[in-house]
């Protein structure tokens, strides 16, 4: 974190009743002491010696015949789960299996936004706990994840939409999160480059600001959790694709991989958009999720332009500026089912038109690069962190647009669920049974249509 940046060091003093009990169960201070390797002295010493003293951040482990827990998926959620299993529950005989290189999936293919500005109590509780973990994560891991609390501003373009944001802001504050309603004159000062558009089709009439929200460095999050898990003895095994499941009757007892059979008492699946394909190997053909492509974009580097995350209320656009100066932005799903990590031109056209509706001064900025991630969209737009659907198996999926910001809480709750064989109160609402019980957590009110979430 950059010293002296008040937005990066801001803390929320309004805790919900269950949070102190949760935080008291972590071992962050102890873990940081055990792993303390990166320091100002280390940087100085290596500067003077040609940077020859740095050790690899994690071991290139070879698979063992068996483990207590196997985690399929070496993305943010899988690595965070492994770290919290070891740090919080003392379960260190763990293997994280990644079919490619570490961080090659969605953890390295997102727009890095962290927020907890939700309406429904189940989501506010979960994402606000994640926010609190984010705020101390660099210290917890002794690794700078570059979490910058620059805020997120959701723009409203009609009085009815502003009323809805006011309602959401009140729900956030009642649940312990932070939120503030801004009006056009305040927004003009906060985001000087924004066209408020009094005569435009989508004039800005106000907005909802969450000051503690912001961005983090996606690959640093993966590296930090990998390093932390490795220091606790977790094996991180790259280039190890799961090709099947081992069964003893109806119970999962391990996996077949491209590097041989690996057995485990418990097998956890955290593979985001590949969930359906992986679970099909276990004979599970139907899940309440769909896989869709989501594109993201980075512009060329420009001078400091916007010091927050801005979202467009007249469509679906979110934008921030990275420390390197590039504008990072994303929009809607491509709208069709796919496992390809690439998108197509119609979404780019729509995104650019929305971007220029807010910031017409960017009309000559050049696009530097784009990429696509495979999203596992659930039927109600909320995640699934649960036991099952087979004995010995644990499932983490259905993240829609919320996967990156949920990384710490997802790993924390999933580790609890695996270790205790029951969900924690925070993730108890996110089970599979809600879909046949009719207890959906539909934040957007779109119904059972994943591509609309």
Compute the average pLDDT of residues 325-333: 94
Task: Provide the pLDDT confidence category of residue 54 given band limits of 50, 70 and 90.
Answer: confident
Nearest Cα neighbor of 88 from 220, 227, 224, 228 is: 228
Residue tagged 């066209």 (tokens)? 195
CA distance 197 to 178: 28
| Numbers of helices and strands, H then E, in the chain | 14, 18
pLDDT at 442: 92
pLDDT at 3: 36
Q: Helices marked H in 136-263 — which ranges?
A: 137-141, 159-174, 184-190, 218-231
CA distance 81 to 127: 16
Compute the average pLDDT of residues 50-79: 94
Compute the average pLDDT of residues 91-103: 95
Give the distance from CA 215 to its chain's centroid: 11
pLDDT at 344: 85
pLDDT tens across 159-170, in order?
999 999 999 999
pLDDT at 36: 57
The two structure tokens encoding residue 37: 């390797």
Between helices 407-420 and 76-89, what is the axis angle to 10°? 50
Residue 202 has pLDDT above 80, yes or no: yes
Domains in the chain: ranges and CATH: 66-139+217-288+380-452 (3.50.50.60), 152-211+290-377 (3.30.9.10)
Residue 319 has pLDDT above 90, yes or no: yes
Q: Which helix (H) or strand (E) holds 333?
A: strand 326-337
Residue 35 has pLDDT above 80, yes or no: no
């Amino acid at each position: 974190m950059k010293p002296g940046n008040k937005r990066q060091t801001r803390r929320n003093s309004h805790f919900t009743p269950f949070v102190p009990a949760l935080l008291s169960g972590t071992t962050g201070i102890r873990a940081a002491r055990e792993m303390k390797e990166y320091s100002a002295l280390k940087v100085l010493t290596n500067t003077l010696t040609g940077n020859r003293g740095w050790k690899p951040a994690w071991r290139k482990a070879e698979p063992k015949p068996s483990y207590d827990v196997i985690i399929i998926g070496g993305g943010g959620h899988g690595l965070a789960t492994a770290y919290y299993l070891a740090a919080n529950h003392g379960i260190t005989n763990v293997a994280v299996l990644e079919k490619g290189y570490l961080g090659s999936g969605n953890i390295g293919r997102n727009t890095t936004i962290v927020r907890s500005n939700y309406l429904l109590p189940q989501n506010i509780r979960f994402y606000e706990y994640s926010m609190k973990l984010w705020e101390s994560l660099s210290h917890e891991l002794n690794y700078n994840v570059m979490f910058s609390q620059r805020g997120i501003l959701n723009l409203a373009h009609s009085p009815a939409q502003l009323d809805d944001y006011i309602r959401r802001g009140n729900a956030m504050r009642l649940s312990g999160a932070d939120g503030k309603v801004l009006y056009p004159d305040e927004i003009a000062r906060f985001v000087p480059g924004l066209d408020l558009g009094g005569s435009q089709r989508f004039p800005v009439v106000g907005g909802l600001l969450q000051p503690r929200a912001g961005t983090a460095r996606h690959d640093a999050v993966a590296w930090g959790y990998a390093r932390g898990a490795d220091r606790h003895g977790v094996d991180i095994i790259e280039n190890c694709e799961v090709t099947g499941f081992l069964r003893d009757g109806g119970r999962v007892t391990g996996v077949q991989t491209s590097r041989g059979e690996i057995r485990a008492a418990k097998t956890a699946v955290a593979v985001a958009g590949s969930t359906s394909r992986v679970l099909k190997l276990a004979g599970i053909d139907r899940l309440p999720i769909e896989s869709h492509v989501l594109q993201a974009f980075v512009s060329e580097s420009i001078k400091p332009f916007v010091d927050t995350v801005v979202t467009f209320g007249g469509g679906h656009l979110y934008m921030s500026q990275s420390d390197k100066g590039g504008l990072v932005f994303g929009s809607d799903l491509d709208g069709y089912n796919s496992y390809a990590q690439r998108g197509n031109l119609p979404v780019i056209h729509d995104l650019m038109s929305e971007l220029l509706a807010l910031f017409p001064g960017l009309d000559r900025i050049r696009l530097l690069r784009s990429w696509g991630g495979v999203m596992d969209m659930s039927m109600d737009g909320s995640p699934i962190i649960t036991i099952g659907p087979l004995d010995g198996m644990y499932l983490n999926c259905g993240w829609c647009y919320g996967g990156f910001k949920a990384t710490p809480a997802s790993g924390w709750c999933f580790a609890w669920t695996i270790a205790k064989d029951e969900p924690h109160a925070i993730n108890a609402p996110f089970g599979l049974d809600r879909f046949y019980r009719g207890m959906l957590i539909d934040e957007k009110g779109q119904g059972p249509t994943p591509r609309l979430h």
